[in-house]
Chain A
Amino acid sequence: MHNPPYATELKPYGRALVALAEQRDDVICLSGDLTRQTEIDLFQERFPERFVHAGMAEANMISMAGAMAREGLQPFVHTFGVFATRRPYDQIVNAVAYPNLPVRLIGFMPGISSPGGPSHQAIEDVAIMRALPNFTVIDVADALEIAQVVPHLATIPGPVYLRLKRGEIPIIFETDHELRLDKAHILTDGDDVALVTNGMMLAASLDAARTLAGAGVGVKIVHVPVVKPLDSATVRRAVEQARVVVTAENHSVIGGLGSAVAEVIAEAGLARPLRRVGMQDTFAEGSRTAPYLFEKYGLSTQALIDSVWAHLGHDGAAPIAERQELAVGEYQPV
Chain B
Amino acid sequence: MTTTSTPVKDTVTLARGIRRRAVDMIAPQGFGYLGQALSSAETVAALYGSYLRPGVDRFICSPGHYIIAAYAAAAEVGLLSEEQLLSYGQDGSDLEAIGTERTPLVDLTCGSLAQGLSGAAGFAYADRLRSRTGSRVYALISDGELEEGQVWEAAIFAAHHRLGSLVVILDANNSQVDGPLDSITTIEPIADKWTAFGWHAMDIDGHDVAAVHAAFDSALKDERPSIIIARTSTVHGLDVLPPDADGHFIKLPPELAAAAREELADA
Indicate if the CB atoms of A95 and B153 lie closer than 8 Å: no
Q: Is the interface of B mostly helix, strand, loop or mixed?
A: helix
Indicate if the CB atoms of B115 and A95 lie closer than 8 Å: yes
Indicate if the CB atoms of B129 and A28 lie closer than 8 Å: yes
Contact string against A for B residues 141-157, beta-carbon threshold 8 Å, 1 for contact and 0 otherwise: 00000000110011011
Please give the distance in Å from A201's CB to the nearest CB on chain B. Answer: 35
Kindly state whether residue A54 has any CB partner on chain B within 8 Å: yes
Indicate if the CB atoms of B118 and A60 lie closer than 8 Å: yes
B residues engaging A (CB < 8 A)?
Answer: 100-101, 107-112, 115, 118-123, 125-127, 129-130, 149-150, 153-154, 156-157
Could you list 21 A-B pairs, sorted by A, with CB under 8 Å?
A: A59-B118, A60-B121, A60-B154, A62-B118, A64-B121, A64-B125, A67-B118, A67-B119, A67-B122, A67-B126, A68-B126, A68-B129, A71-B130, A93-B112, A94-B109, A94-B111, A94-B112, A94-B115, A95-B109, A95-B115, A99-B109
Residues of the A chain whose Cβ atoms lie less than 8 Å from the Cβ of B157: 54-55, 57, 60, 64
Residues of the A chain whose Cβ atoms lie less than 8 Å from the Cβ of B127: 71
Q: CA A70 – CA B118 in complex, angstroms?
A: 13
Indicate if the CB atoms of B112 and A64 lie closer than 8 Å: no
Q: CA A112 – CA B107 in complex, angstroms?
A: 40
Residues of the B chain whose Cβ atoms lie less than 8 Å from the Cβ of A71: 123, 126-127, 130
Please give the distance in Å from A288's CB to the nearest CB on chain B. Answer: 34
Q: Is the interface of A mostly helix, strand, loop or mixed?
A: helix
Q: CA A90 – CA B150 in complex, angstroms?
A: 12
Residues of the A chain whose Cβ atoms lie less than 8 Å from the Cβ of B150: 57, 59-60, 63, 91
Kindly state whether residue A102 has any CB partner on chain B within 8 Å: no
Indicate if the CB atoms of A67 and B120 lie closer than 8 Å: yes
Kindly state whether residue A217 has any CB partner on chain B within 8 Å: no
Indicate if the CB atoms of A55 and B112 lie closer than 8 Å: no
Among A60, A68, A71, A73, max chain B CB count under 10 A is at A60
Kindly state whether residue A183 has any CB partner on chain B within 8 Å: no
Residue of A nearest to B101 (CB): A99
Please give the distance in Å from A286's CB to the nearest CB on chain B. Answer: 26
Residues of the B chain whose Cβ atoms lie less than 8 Å from the Cβ of A91: 112, 115, 118, 150
Please give the distance in Å from B16's CB to the nearest CB on chain A. Answer: 33
Please give the distance in Å from A49's CB to the nearest CB on chain B. Answer: 8
Residues of A230-285 whose CB lies within 8 A of B: none
Residue of B nearest to A54 (CB): B157
Indicate if the CB atoms of A57 and B156 lie closer than 8 Å: yes
Kindly state whether residue A66 has any CB partner on chain B within 8 Å: yes
Kindly state whether residue A86 has any CB partner on chain B within 8 Å: no
Contact string against B for A residues 81-116, beta-carbon threshold 8 Å, 1 for contact and 0 otherwise: 000000000110111001100000000000000000
Indicate if the CB atoms of B109 and A98 lie closer than 8 Å: yes
Indicate if the CB atoms of A70 and B107 lie closer than 8 Å: yes
Indicate if the CB atoms of B119 and A64 lie closer than 8 Å: yes
Residues of the A chain whose Cβ atoms lie less than 8 Å from the Cβ of B115: 59, 63, 90-91, 94-95
Kindly state whether residue A219 has any CB partner on chain B within 8 Å: no
Residues of the B chain whose Cβ atoms lie less than 8 Å from the Cβ of A59: 115, 118, 149-150, 153
Q: CA A57 – CA B157 in complex, angstroms?
A: 9
Beyond A65-B122, A68-B125, A70-B108, 16 extra complex contacts between A and B, CB < 8 Å: A49-B129, A52-B125, A55-B157, A63-B115, A63-B154, A64-B118, A64-B119, A64-B121, A67-B108, A67-B120, A70-B123, A70-B126, A91-B112, A91-B118, A95-B118, A98-B100
Q: CA A95 – CA B126 in complex, angstroms?
A: 15
Among A66, A68, A91, A93, max chain B CB count under 10 A is at A68
Residue of B nearest to A99 (CB): B101
Please give the distance in Å from A247's CB to the nearest CB on chain B. Answer: 34
Residues of the A chain whose Cβ atoms lie less than 8 Å from the Cβ of B154: 57, 60, 63-64
Q: CA A70 – CA B153 in complex, angstroms?
A: 21
Which 7 pairs across A and B sit closest by C-beta, in order of nearness?
A: A67-B122, A63-B118, A64-B122, A60-B153, A57-B153, A71-B126, A67-B119
Indicate if the CB atoms of A95 and B123 lie closer than 8 Å: no
Residues of the A chain whose Cβ atoms lie less than 8 Å from the Cβ of B149: 59
Please give the distance in Å from A58's CB to the nearest CB on chain B. Answer: 9
Q: CA A65 – CA B121 in complex, angstroms?
A: 10
Q: CA A271 – CA B119 in complex, angstroms?
A: 49
Residues of the B chain whose Cβ atoms lie less than 8 Å from the Cβ of A63: 115, 118-119, 122, 150, 154
Indicate if the CB atoms of B101 and A66 lie closer than 8 Å: no
Kindly state whether residue A311 has any CB partner on chain B within 8 Å: no
Q: CA A71 – CA B154 in complex, angstroms?
A: 18
Please give the distance in Å from A88's CB to the nearest CB on chain B. Answer: 9
Q: A54-B157, A60-B154, A94-B112 are in contact. Are A66 and B129 (CB under 8 A)?
A: no
Please give the distance in Å from B216's CB to the nearest CB on chain A. Answer: 22
